[in-house]
A and B are shown apart, each in its own frame.
Chain A
Amino acid sequence: MPRHRQKHNMACFQRESPALKEILLRLYRAEKPMELDHHLYEFGSVEYHVQASASIPDNTYLSIATPLLYQDVVLSSGLPRYTLEMVKGISPDVIEIIEPPKEGYKLTLRLKYSRIPRNKGGVKMIASISSVQGVILSSQLKDMLMNVNSLEVSQGMYRPVKLIYHPREPFFVIKQPEKITAVFPMRFKEDTDVIIATAFFQELMDIGSSKAFVKAPHCIWSPIPPAELRGEPIEDLSTNGGFVSFDITGRHVEGKRLDKTVWNLLNFYAFVKYHVKSTRGFIQRRMRTRLESLVEVLYNAGIKDEHHIKKKNRGPKGVRKLLNFSKSKLLKKRYNFINKIKRIRSRIKIHWFSRFRKRWLNFSRFSSLTRYEKLN
């Protein structure tokens, strides 16, 4: 991925489901239409069902079952109209919404593969279709944020709405005049994570209140629940990392900013957890590097001592040369010499080598004192 894109996507995690994308791409790239019936499970609560028929290639069905952001609202008539419009808007030519959806699923789509272009644009389209779960969830929050400037006053306007994007990590959205406040109760497993995250939230507050970021949503961190959440169940308000609040105004939901704002809010928890994990890894790497430099100081305390003594008690040059010839060096020299002899007397026969050997490598026979030689 190009570097500028990496930077742009830093706060945004991948929207498309990697497993679903792989299956849809496999169907897209197949030379012949293929039979497929595949169930996928993600995050413990999201289920995909992909069905493709070899006989009718344009009848590929994708069914999705996902918990919605709104847990309190009972949707008897399926997904809201706005959500269905957003899903259809991913690729109007390719996607057809099947009513009613398959049993056990919230949404069933028919994908017309024949209408997907056979170029890079086709791959992009498949990636967009794979992000359908993100589109469904973000559409609900978009619907809420788009009405931020509405002057409509309804009963329970200030009642916090509990939304769940990640399991066991709910956050609250509170509608107020001319703004919407998103409140994130932060929970961490370890005390170290709490302290690192708290330092991050304080930096977030400092930066958010600076002149350069006047246009960014106003950010507040507090160790106690904000006043707007009074009356909520105690299990939702018991945290060890405090509460982070963002004030979203009309400016943050204009045009293309709406999609970015929604995606950033939905992934705030994941962003913080990723930052904490990276910081811990950074601290660990730094400690390892420092360990080496600390140990070196101690080893110098021992090694320099040996050099110092050696320098003082050196002795005459000739003796030093002899002393340099340690036992191991002598053994090594003897071993190398023996190996040389063995190589010369090797049993591996090379055809032309025997003539060479007879002529140049003749070992003379030594007379032995024990052998008797007859004198003529």
Chain B
Amino acid sequence: MLRLYLTCIRNTLEAAMCLQNFPCQEVERHNKPEVELKTSPELLLNSVVICRNEAEKCLIETSINSLRISLKVKQADELENILTKKFLRFLSMRAEAFQVLRRKPVQGYDISFLITNYHCEEMQKQRLIDFIVQFMEDIDKEISELKLSVNTRGRLVATEFLKQFI
């Protein structure tokens, strides 16, 4: 099920990541990502929402010179909820290390990427897509591992505490 979801996202990104340099139509000598401004409807393509289930979805918004990908990660319980929030906030605060990561996610989503034509010039398109898909897999895996580690720690500490009474 995850494979199908990721394959769908990959195919959509391959189609959407056709970006070119396009100077701003409203301000001279400015070059802005049109997907963020949304001032010129003729420069925007239809956005696509790919849902795995009610809790997991991916929003892909495209424009002539930029592409925005927003992800909603699954959170089964409260512990996963706080771990996801903490981890993704941690990454967002260090967005400059990722270059394509947005500092603030789009409303209703947990994390967002902004890819511009400049990124496509500096990096290979295929590798960028591989990075996004790999990132989604790694986040899921990391949250599960973190949850397991926290529960294991709790168990060990509880064991040591109760041993004092025996």
Enumerate chain A interface residues (CB-CB to B < 8 A).
7, 10-12, 191-192, 195-196, 198-200, 202-204, 206-208, 213, 215-217, 219, 252, 257, 260-261, 264, 271, 275, 278-279, 282-284, 286-287, 290-291, 294-295, 297-298, 300-302, 304-305
Contact = CB atoms under 8 A, between A and B. Distances in A.
B149 to A, nearest CB: 7
Nearest to B135: A294
A297 B134 contact: yes
Given A196-B150, A264-B165, 6 more contacts: A10-B160, A213-B159, A260-B164, A283-B150, A291-B90, A295-B97
Contact of A275 (B86, B128, B151, B157): B157
A42 B156 CA distance: 32
A191 B100 CA distance: 31
Interface residues of B, number: 42
B153 A301 contact: no
A198 B79 CA distance: 9
Contact of A305 (B124, B130, B164): B124
B4 interface: no
B83 A302 contact: no
A204 B161 contact: yes
Given A196-B150, A199-B151, A301-B123, A11 B164 contact: yes
Contacts of A295: 97-98
A191 B82 contact: yes
Contacts of A200: 154, 157-158
B98 A298 contact: yes
A7 B163 CA distance: 11
A257 B161 contact: no
Contact of B91 (A202, A219, A294): A294
B85 to A, nearest CB: 9
Contacts of A261: 165
Contacts of B130: 301
17 contacts: A191-B82, A204-B158, A207-B158, A213-B159, A215-B165, A216-B162, A217-B162, A261-B165, A275-B154, A287-B90, A290-B87, A291-B94, A294-B91, A294-B98, A301-B124, A301-B127, A302-B127
B6 interface: no
A191 B86 CA distance: 12
A153 to B, nearest CB: 27
B26 interface: no
A199 B166 CA distance: 23
A203 B155 contact: yes
Contacts of B134: 297
B82 A195 contact: yes
B122 interface: yes
A260 B165 contact: yes
B78 interface: yes
B100 A298 contact: yes
Contact of B165 (A195, A196, A257): A257
Contact of B86 (A10, A12, A287): A287
Given A207-B158, A301-B124, A279 B150 contact: yes
B123 A305 contact: yes
A27 B78 CA distance: 54
A282 B98 contact: no
Contact of A290 (B82, B98, B142, B166): B142
Given A286-B146, A297-B131, A301-B128, A203 B90 contact: no
B99 interface: yes
B138 interface: yes
A260 to B, nearest CB: 6
A291 B164 contact: no
A279 B155 contact: no
Interface in B24-63: none
Given A203-B155, A213-B166, A11 B161 contact: yes
Contacts of A300: 127
A213 B124 CA distance: 58
A278 B156 CA distance: 13
Contacts of A294: 91, 98, 135, 138
Nearest to B125: A301
A252 B158 CA distance: 17
Given A204-B162, A216-B165, A195 B122 contact: no
Given A291-B97, A297-B134, A213 B151 contact: no
Contacts of B86: 192, 283, 287
Contact of A264 (B149, B155, B161): B161
A219 B131 CA distance: 47
B82 A203 contact: no
Per CB-CB distance, the 4 closest pairs between chain A and chain B, nearest first, are A301-B127, A203-B154, A216-B162, A200-B154
